[in-house]
Amino acid sequence: MEYVVIGLRGACALYQAADDPSRIRKTGAAGLAEQLGIDLPDLPGRHYTCWETPGEYGGVFRSGFELA
């Protein structure tokens, strides 16, 4: 799945699916920057991909983050 970071709000990075801008999600900005190997101020506008695995009791686990 490909995502794009659309902004930072406090300690959160706001992102959306690159092909579906209808839903904005949030995650920890520092953790995402670290997983992508970039500096925190460089997050907005970045496209990245990751693997998604459905959780046993709902939700989604994301791993394998890479810059797109």
pTM of the model: 0.89
pLDDT bucket at 12, cuts 50 / 70 / 90: very high
- pLDDT, averaged across the chain: 95
Average of pLDDT values for 3-14? 97
Q: Is the distance from CB of 50 to CB of 6 less than 8 angstroms?
A: no
pLDDT given for residue 55 in this prediction:
93
Q: What are the CA-CA distances from residue 19 to residues 30, 37, 39, 59 (Å)?
A: 24, 24, 25, 20
User: What confidence tier does 45 reach under pLDDT thresholds 50, 70, 90?
Assistant: very high
